[in-house]
């Protein structure tokens, strides 16, 4: 929204804004992002064939819990950054805590493992494609979250763009977990994080241009 348009709107009067407008807009963005990522995943990669069996294990749900926790934390950050004057510190701290917990767990697993096994625990079998796959699956969510922000009032576009990108990356990763065969914490701590970081960096770079109002 341009400044002149905003002033005109205030001067002429408008209908009351829905107090749940931000939540509804982001709920729609999440629905579009996750469904878009799911369609892309099925079309390009497919669901892992042993999903029914692996879903009975605790490691699979721990694997899903990581992007789900990042999604929840960054959703809070992004929604706060969409409101002028709101603080996003708590959400950023929660995101950092989730990442720290993963790194601590990954470090403990590596220390307990025989040295000969550590390289494979970090690289797995899919390290060459993991970051790219997560980034591609994040694209529908990236577009949806930026659409949500552009209809609101972010006053810190660089930070809001980074948060939106990380939120999109978490959605892409959550869906990618239904395909990815990797089941070790060290792999997740490196390649899953890189996969989420790519759209976050892109969002930070585009935030000033796309979220200016």
What pLDDT is stored for residue 78 in this prediction?
A: 94
pLDDT digits (tens, 9 = 90+) for 4-45: 665 665 556 555 556 677 889 999 999 999 999 999 999 999
Domain assignment of residue 11, yes or no: no
SS3 of the chain: the string is CCHHHHHHHHHHCCCCCCCCHHHHHHHHHHHHHHHHHHHHHHHHCCCCCCHHHHCCCHHHHHHHHHHHHHHHHHHHHHHHHCCCCCCCHHHHHHHHHHHHHHHHHHHHHHHHCCHHHHHHHHHCCCHHHHHHHHHHHHHHHHHHHHHHHHCCCCCCHHHHHHHHHHHHHHHHHHHHCCCCCCCCHHHHHHHHHHHHHHHHHHHHHHHHHHCCC
What pLDDT is stored for residue 2 in this prediction?
A: 59
Domain assignment of residue 156, yes or no: yes
State which residues form the domain around 42. 20-210
What pLDDT is stored for residue 113 in this prediction?
A: 95
What pLDDT is stored for residue 112 in this prediction?
A: 95
The total of structural domains in the chain comes to 1
For the chain, list residues with pLDDT below 70. Answer: 1-19, 213
Domain assignment of residue 7, yes or no: no
3-state helix, strand, coil in the chain (%, to 5): 75, 0, 25
Domain assignment of residue 56, yes or no: yes
What pLDDT is stored for residue 8 in this prediction?
A: 62
- Residue 184, helix vs strand vs coil: coil
What pLDDT is stored for residue 15 in this prediction?
A: 54
Q: Which residue has the tokens 């819990």?
A: 65
Domain assignment of residue 8, yes or no: no
Domain assignment of residue 5, yes or no: no
Domain assignment of residue 2, yes or no: no
Distance CA 114, CA 107 (A): 13
Domain assignment of residue 54, yes or no: yes
State the angle between helix axes of 157-176 and 193-210 in degrees (0 to 180), rounded to the nearest 10. 140
Instruction: Give me the sign of the Cα torsion angle 91, 37, 101, 160.
Output: negative
Q: Which residue has the tokens 């805590």?
A: 97
């Amino acid at each position: 929204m341009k400044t002149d348009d905003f002033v005109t709107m205030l001067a002429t009067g408008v209908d009351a804004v829905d107090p749940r407008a931000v939540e509804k807009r982001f709920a729609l963005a999440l629905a579009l992002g996750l469904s878009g990522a799911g369609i892309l995943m099925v079309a390009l990669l497919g669901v892992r064939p042993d999903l029914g069996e692996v879903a009975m294990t605790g490691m699979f749900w721990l694997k899903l819990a990581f992007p789900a926790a990042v999604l929840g934390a960054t959703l809070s950050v992004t929604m706060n950054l969409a409101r002028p004057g709101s603080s996003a510190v708590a959400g950023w701290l929660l995101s950092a805590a989730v990442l720290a917990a993963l790194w601590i767990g990954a470090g403990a697993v590596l220390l307990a493992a025989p040295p000969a096994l550590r390289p494979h625990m970090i690289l797995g079998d899919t390290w060459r494609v993991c970051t790219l796959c997560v980034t591609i699956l994040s694209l529908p969510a990236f577009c949806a979250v930026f659409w949500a922000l552009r209809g609101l009032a972010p006053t810190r576009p660089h930070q809001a763009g980074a948060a939106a990108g990380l939120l999109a990356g978490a959605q892409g990763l959550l869906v990618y977990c239904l395909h990815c065969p990797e089941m070790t914490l060290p792999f997740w701590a490196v390649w899953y994080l890189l996969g989420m970081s790519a759209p976050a960096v892109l969002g930070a770079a585009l935030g000033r241009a796309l979220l200016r109002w």
